[in-house]
Amino acid sequence: MAYNVADIIEKAVNIAVRRRVVYQKIGQDKGDILSIKILTKVLNKEVNKTIEYYETLLNLVNDRDFEEIDFSIYDKISFLINDFNNRINTENVRNARELLNFSLEMEKAVYSLFLDIQGRFVKTGDDVRTNTYRILTDIIENKAKHIEMLEQLRE
């Protein structure tokens, strides 16, 4: 079975869904705090937009032929993503400020994860011209916008 960027986008959707579940759980557990209730709704809307963005990319990718991903690279990427999903810890979220900091740190971690994934595709100078690299660049730029938005909220 050959892997391509669509498989990575599907894993990105899974990360976003996992984040949505985390925000919903925080909203339920701390829902008696109005600021957390409002913030979890905002964060869930942003995650839903991210999922829609990924699904749009997935539709675009599925309509074209993309470079195959070497199995060893894909295996390492899968390990990184699974490890990331297992490290999400919400125990320190007690108020809206901590939730915002938690969300910002999680977005930065996702950003770093995708930078790491993108870097694994570069073996030669020509690799930065592949469609896979371009799609990952777009995902990374999208993450950077989310980080910027959260940093503005934190101020």
Q: Where are the domains of the chain?
A: 5-153
What is the secondary structure of 50-91 as a DSSP string?
A: HHHHHHHHHHHHHTS--PPBPHHHHHHHHHHHHHHHHT---T
Architecture per CATH, 5-153:
Up-down Bundle (1.20)
138's enclosing H/E stretch is: helix 131-154
Q: Is 83 in contact with 35 (CB distance < 8 Å)?
A: no
Q: What is the mean pLDDT of residues 94-123?
A: 92
For 42-99, the pLDDT digits (tens) are 999 999 999 999 999 999 888 777 888 888 888 999 999 988 888 877 667 888 899 9
Q: Is the pLDDT of residue 155 over 80?
A: no
User: pTM score, two decimals?
Assistant: 0.89
Q: Is 4 helix (H, G, I), strand (E, B) or coil?
A: coil
Close Cβ partners of 94 (under 8 Å, ≥ 6 residues apart): 30
